[in-house]
Amino acid sequence: MKARTASCSRKTRETDIRVEIDLDRPGKISVATGVGFFDHLLEAAAFHGCFSLTVQARGDLEVDSHHLVEDTGLVIGEALRQAAEGGQEFNRFGHALIPMDDALSEVTVDAGGRPYLVFESLFPQERSGNFEMILVREFLIALANRARITLHAELRHGKNSHHCAESLFKALGRALRQAYSPLAAGAGLPQGMSTKGTLS
């Protein structure tokens, strides 16, 4: 069976990012972006998604975190897509509903090759530490587009933005885990297939 791993990078005048993913071997998580709360969110997604994730990222944080967060989403999305391509058939669909104290988040994934994001969230506070909550959406847009997944993410309710974002990323990890979980031979449709025969 082909290893479902990928190593991807992106270097621009604004950011320098390298990502490694292993969809089948949980446990190795190392994230360093220079934005502490963003690191925390990515670590939560990988831990609850049961995949290994290494992120080394530098960016123009003297401007703000926007370029770094968005470009990290692009590179993680590309790594997800590459890791899944050509490997074992997988579930394609994933769903998770995750609470964290006052917060409740729901994420649904279709890893069928059609990039789209629906994001419904009103964070009570604009920031957690130095992280702007508006950047959650920018990360998810980049991730969905580059991974070529349909992603529905909803913060149902919450009073603490830290809890809201963390529950959302935990749900993201669990939904990705379910979507990319391998199927036994002959147990389902090939990745990307539909009643039309193809999604491309």
pLDDT digits (tens, 9 = 90+) for 117-145: 999 999 999 999 999 999 999 999 999 99
Q: SS3 string of the chain? A: CCCCEEEEEEECCCEEEEEEEECCCCCCEEEECCCHHHHHHHHHHHHHHCCEEEEEEEECCCCCCHHHHHHHHHHHHHHHHHHHCCCCCECCEEEEEEEECCEEEEEEEECCCCCEEEEECCCCCCEECCEECHHHHHHHHHHHHHHCCEEEEEEEECCCHHHHHHHHHHHHHHHHHHHCCECCCCCCCCCCCCCCCCCC
Q: In whole angstroms, what is the distance from residue 113 CA to residue 94 CA?
A: 14
Model pTM score: 0.92
**Contact in structure between 160 and 125 (CB atoms under 8 Å):** yes
pLDDT digits (tens, 9 = 90+) for 164-193: 999 999 999 999 999 999 986 655 555 445
What pLDDT shows up at residue 192? Answer: 47
What pLDDT shows up at residue 149? Answer: 98
Q: In whole angstroms, what is the distance from residue 153 CA to residue 68 CA?
A: 21
**Contact in structure between 26 and 50 (CB atoms under 8 Å):** yes
* Residue indicated by tokens 């920018």: 138
What pLDDT shows up at residue 183? Answer: 85
What pLDDT shows up at residue 196? Answer: 60
Q: Angle at the Cα of 36 (from 31 to 39), degrees rounded to 5? A: 30
Residue 85 backbone dihedrals phi, psi, to 5 degrees: -70, 135
Structural domains in the chain plus CATH codes? 5-179 (3.30.230.40)
10-residue stretch averages of pLDDT, the chain, 200 residues long: 91 97 94 97 98 97 94 98 88 97 98 97 95 98 98 98 98 98 68 54
